[in-house]
Amino acid sequence: MHEPSQYDHIVLVSVDTLRSDAMSAHPKPLWPHTYRDVRPVRTTVLDTLAARGAYFPNMISAAPYTAASHGAIFTGRYPLHNGLHEFYNGSLQAPSVFTYGRDDGRRTVMKVDFPIILGKELGFTRDIDTYLIEKDDAFIDAVASADRTVALAHFGGVHVPYGFHNLTLGGDAYREKVAELEAGLPDELPFVDRLVETYRDPEDADLLMRYKRITTYLHREGAYDQLFQLYLDGVEHFLATRLEGFLDRLTERVAATGKRILLVLFADHGEEFDEQTNGHFNSMSEGVLRVPLIIVGDGIRPGTHEQRIRTVDIAPTVLDLAGVPVPATESFDGHSLARVARGETRLDADAPAVAESYNVELNDFIAFQERQLSGRPPGPLPHFLVGHAAYLGDRRVVRMARHYSDALQRARPYDSVRVERFDADGVPRAVPDDDGADLLAMLDDYRAALREPKQTTVTDEMRGQLRSLGYSV
């Protein structure tokens, strides 16, 4: 017998591009081992949430880009199992938390900052009753005015341009930051992509391109510490100017209705800067793949759980905590952490995990998006495997199939395998004498989902059986 939910509202909050150790509350941050001339920033609102709820600082994302990562989060299934594994291709096919929530009689609400990515083109609006773009207060109204909901508030403010998202939200502070960063730089800055995640007017688009030219130049010059400080400063600015107020308004409005809320905050991927990575999209870096999860609500026991979990664990955990029924015929790749979040048991081991990156040639994607945004048929967008990683116990393997060069614009075939072991601080260290055979086997087993199914030969006996059931064959 299905028990009634103790939560009227399930509110998912996605902070796009927030790496786990950007939070001051992180028990074992990675970035101080990589960046030397960088200062930590204030992340009070996240640290307070982490202290109030079940905090998982070591969650591995299924993909280092927004679409595939969110698809895995919403469905509890790895990208190769849910229909959406490439950078910008396919469509989300598996049932999601919104599917199950709607079947449970709940209103489904989705507010996104990246409508071009998290929109109808990739199947994200399926099973959504109210879809909003960059409208934080309208999202709060939609949740507070409903009887019961499953809702997502997605924020792009930690993504480039760090801290601002766009001109409407960033205002004069955004204009001033771009001018400050441009001061002293050469007049001729490098080429940058013209890709966008949301709709922008000419001034907004120009500011974004100027910002991207700055970060591309700094990356070309090897100014990785400066870039990472820019990223952390953006985290601090976004939290103080947007997320903190949003969460205050949301909780106050819902509390005024007497309703109960389950708040689940997470990220889809992080950010990293090194010779091969300027951001995240092509990276298997631990700083990119390791993201936070915080669960807050009545009955959730505060505590930090440092063992490794996966983003595919979020959906089964949320549905279990909220008592939302899932048909017995459905299955997840992830596992429910509800008993851990309620303090009924503890994690006793690191979960095995996989992550993959599929991407495109940059110029191909630019041309594709320009055709799409102009209303023309965009045509095909060929993807390729960039790299993937597998985790087991205190080890992981990273196998790269492409090497980006020419300011990360071109990806050439590349074959590299690196096995690493996590030390006491959670830092991956190379293990040259380990061939990683068991880890590579995990990747090969996962990629079996890409293989074409074997064709079954239909015999006369099978045809006869089908005809007896009323089929015309």
- What distances in angstroms separate CA 359 from CA 65, 114, 248, 383, one per listed residue? 10, 18, 38, 5
Pull the structure tokens for residue 183: 């001061």
pLDDT at 407 over 80: no
Among residues of the chain, what percentage have pLDDT more than 90? 77
| Cα(446)–Cα(259) distance, integer angstroms | 42
Mean pLDDT of the chain: 91
What 8-state DSSP symbol labels residue 3?
P
Mean pLDDT in residue range 237-254: 98
pLDDT at 198 over 90: no
| Cα(390)–Cα(10) distance, integer angstroms | 31
Among residues of the chain, what percentage have pLDDT more than 70? 92
Q: Among 91-95, 97-101, 173-177, 369-373, which stretch is predicted with the lowest mean pLDDT?
A: 369-373
pLDDT at 459 over 70: no
Predicted local distance difference test score (pLDDT) of residue 392? 98
Better pLDDT: 139 or 278: 139
Mean pLDDT in residue range 162-178: 96
pLDDT at 4 over 80: no
Give the pLDDT band of residue 457 (cuts 50, 70, 90). very low
Better pLDDT: 334 or 363: 334
The burial class, CB within 10 Å (0-12 / 13-18 / 19+), for 440 is middle
| Cα(165)–Cα(135) distance, integer angstroms | 13
- What distances in angstroms separate CA 413 from CA 47, 242, 283, 448, one per listed residue? 42, 42, 15, 21
Pull the structure tokens for residue 185: 């730089």
Q: Tell me the one-letter amino acid at 38.
A: V
Residues whose CB falls within 8 Å of the CB of residue 100, separated by 6 or more in sequence, listed in order: 150, 319, 324, 325, 326
| Cα(174)–Cα(206) distance, integer angstroms | 12
- What distances in angstroms separate CA 205 from CA 170, 187, 212, 363, 440, one per listed residue? 13, 19, 11, 18, 42
469: left (phi over 0), alpha (psi -120 to 50) or beta: alpha
**Domain map of the chain by residue range?**
9-159+225-345, 354-450
pLDDT at 1 over 60: no
pLDDT in tens, 339-355: 999 999 999 999 999 99
pLDDT at 3 over 50: no
Residues whose CB falls within 8 Å of the CB of residue 251, separated by 6 or more in sequence, listed in order: 261, 263
pLDDT at 2 over 50: no
Better pLDDT: 50 or 464: 50
Predicted local distance difference test score (pLDDT) of residue 473? 40
Q: Among 9-18, 231-240, 366-375, which stretch is predicted with the lowest mean pLDDT?
A: 366-375
Three-state secondary-structure class, residue 432 = coil
Predicted local distance difference test score (pLDDT) of residue 470? 44
Strand partners, 398: 389, 418
Give the pLDDT band of residue 455 (cuts 50, 70, 90). very low
Predicted local distance difference test score (pLDDT) of residue 404? 72
Better pLDDT: 334 or 374: 334
| Cα(9)–Cα(12) distance, integer angstroms | 10
CATH topology of domain 9-159+225-345: Alkaline Phosphatase, subunit A (3.40.720)
DSSP secondary structure of 115-132:
TTTSSGGGTTTTT-SEEE
pLDDT in tens, 14-44: 999 999 999 999 999 999 999 999 999 999 9
How many residues does this entry show for the chain? 473
| Cα(389)–Cα(367) distance, integer angstroms | 30
